[in-house]
Amino acid sequence: MLKQDFNIGPFTVSPVGQITLNGLQKQLFDIEYGHETMRDRIPVTPGTQSQVASQLEDAIASIVSDLKGSEPKPQEVPFDIRWIELIDQKTGNVIDSMPWEAEIPGLSAGLIDDRFETWLVVDGRSMPIEIEEFERLKKAHYAALNARAVAEKPPSTFKPKYGWIANLLPDNVMTIDPEEWRAPSSWEIRHVVGEGSLIGISGSKAAALVGVNPSSFRKYTAQDGAKSRQNMSFAMWHLLLHRLEVQVL
């Protein structure tokens, strides 16, 4: 029988005892979300973690249904936004990214090359840019985007497919203001990525969505406090939420 807690997405499954039902021995489990017990003393046939998880699928599905009960946070109808990416020429990895609306002067068709270390890439066109300049560009863009959202855009009824998940996460994790934002914890990331997550996308597929390799992405989903754990960047987190249809930028 299992003796330790384990995670299924954002849920913690805890063994809490044993019982005999109809002459058969069963192990009892509680399911917690955050620090709240959502279902308690569920009897299952003893087995491995995966076998127990399989038997708890219906209980977890009912919890997810409960969590969906609240309406998603209002999202603005997206502008004609494209994503621009800062690319490391040597590795081809995405260093940073952000949404962009306006035309960008200086872009040219063709592949990036070794004349410069970092390149800005959008819609198959590129231009050389230094990391510091990209950071200034990003900060100015988000300031303008926030100002316009407050001053010009009326509330919208647009709802992303998984917008209800945004209701479950703290405002300082969901904000698009870099000054107020904090990096998501591994528990918060497990809402959207990994086996048992509320979306069900694997870590490798999520890594592909944000342009990093799976081994690098595992550093973000490692348990909080683990030596390998790294915080996800502001740009990567919001790009992931955008592409998973949790939040629209």
Q: Render pLDDT for 63-99 as a digit per residue (tens, 0 to 9).
A: 999 998 754 444 444 445 567 888 888 888 888 887 7
How large is the average pLDDT for residues 24-33?
Answer: 97
Q: How confident is the model at residue 122 (pLDDT cuts 50, 70, 90)?
A: confident
Q: Is residue 121 part of a domain?
A: yes
User: Are residue 169 and residue 235 in the same domain, yes or no?
Assistant: yes
Q: What is the pLDDT of residue 220?
A: 94
CA separation for the pair 49, 8 (Å, rounded): 10
Structure tokens at 59: 């209980």
**Residue 102: band (very low, low, confident or very high) from pLDDT cuts 50, 70, 90:** low
Token pair 């001053």: residue: 151
Angstrom distance (rounded) from CA 63 to CA 67: 6
248 Cβ neighbours under 8 A, 6+ residues apart: 75, 76, 77, 78, 158, 160, 242
Q: Is residue 119 part of a domain?
A: yes
Whether 50 and 99 share a structural domain: no
For the whole prediction, is pTM greater than 0.85?
no
pLDDT of residue 51: 97
Q: Which residue has the higher pLDDT, 191 or 138?
A: 191
The residues facing 108 across adjacent strands are 126
Q: Per the domain annotation, does 58 fall within a domain?
A: yes
pLDDT at residue 25 is higher than 60: yes
Q: Find the domain containing 102 and state its range.
A: 82-151
Three-class secondary structure of residue 175 per DSSP: coil
When pLDDT is averaged across residues 105-121 and rounded to a whole number, the result is 81
Q: Kindly report the backbone phi and psi dihedral angles of residue 242, in degrees, each rounded to the nearest multiple of 5, phi listed first.
A: -65, -45
| Widest Cα–Cα separation across the chain | 76
Half-sphere exposure of 147 (CA within 13 A, CB side): 6
pLDDT bracket for residue 150 (50, 70, 90): low
Task: Pick the more confident residue, 73 or 151.
Answer: 151
Number of folded domains that form the chain: 3
On whether residue 1 sits in a domain, the answer given is no
Reading the block at residue 149, the tokens are 């959202």
Residue of 163, 183, 185, 162 lying closest to 172 (CA atoms): 183
Q: Are residues 46 and 86 both part of a single domain?
A: no
